[in-house]
Chains A and B, each alone.
Chain A
Amino acid sequence: DAGVTQSPTHLIKTRGQQVTLRCSPISGHKSVSWYQQVLGQGPQFIFQYYEKEERGRGNFPDRFSARQFPNYSSELNVNALLLGDSALYLCASSLRTENYGYTFGSGTRLTVV
């Protein structure tokens, strides 16, 4: 069985540009969450989606948005990129939103120059 897959694996963008990151959850998992991991720090929660509805949002500006599709895959969009948005963006899927534990993808490394 495929795990959580994320694309692209690496990305370089210029300040002010927009970026879209993609995530496919484990088959059967209906919940997808996004985390930002800045170098040397622990991951920080950005969004959680379940059954295509937003179930939680972390302390991130409105430049960050996301959505979940009928097949439970998800996209994370970041507008007006700043240098500080450079990070590893991790997607995690779980069966539901309750405490079943999360499986993470390998992440997308975003570099803003």
Chain B
Amino acid sequence: GNSVTQMEGPVTLSEEAFLTINCTYTATGYPSLFWYVQYPGEGLQLLLKATKADDKGSNKGFEATYRKETTSFHLEKGSVQVSDSAVYFCALSARSNDYKLSFGAGTTVTVRA
């Protein structure tokens, strides 16, 4: 079946540091890939997405590139801020699974001033 594996946390960084969170997937067919962010006490917000191979999703300084050859969708940000402290989830959806979202376990990121 479809599944997502993402880097375990927690991750603690200083402000302006470089952030990368690894995500790899297993899927039948050609999934779409997503990064969602969850701030403390809130629901999920879509951060970025990519729907086909080599697409790059970007938003708020975050980027991720859909790499079919390595089945990966790593999240990166060049200079993090304290406000980026949150839990980040990698997810996929595919026609083979009726487009339901399959999530990774989440990575907690804490940015210190």
Contact = CB atoms under 8 A, between A and B. Distances in A.
Given A103-B46, A104-B43, A105-B43, A41 B100 contact: no
Query: Which among A35, A41, A45, A99 has the highest number of chain B CB atoms within 10 Å?
Result: A99
Contacts of B46: 101-104
30 contacts: A6-B43, A35-B101, A41-B106, A42-B4, A42-B103, A42-B104, A42-B105, A42-B106, A43-B44, A45-B100, A45-B102, A56-B98, A58-B100, A90-B44, A92-B101, A97-B98, A98-B99, A99-B95, A99-B99, A101-B32, A101-B46, A102-B46, A103-B46, A104-B36, A104-B43, A104-B44, A106-B42, A106-B43, A107-B42, A107-B43
Contacts of B45: 104
A103 B49 CA distance: 12
A25 to B, nearest CB: 14
**Interface size grouping (class) on chain A:** 20 to 34
B110 interface: no
Given A42-B105, A45-B102, A99 B43 contact: no
Interface residues of B, number: 24
Nearest to A47: B100
A36 B54 CA distance: 31
Q: What 7 pairs between A and B have smallest CB-CB spacing?
A: A42-B103, A106-B43, A104-B44, A45-B100, A104-B43, A107-B43, A56-B98
Contacts of A106: 42-43
A48 B99 CA distance: 10
B34 interface: yes
B98 A48 contact: yes
Interface in A27-81: 33, 35, 40-45, 48, 55-56, 58
Given A40-B106, A42-B104, A98-B99, 18 more contacts: A42-B103, A43-B44, A43-B103, A44-B103, A45-B100, A48-B98, A56-B98, A58-B100, A97-B98, A99-B95, A101-B32, A101-B34, A101-B49, A102-B46, A104-B43, A106-B42, A107-B42, A107-B43
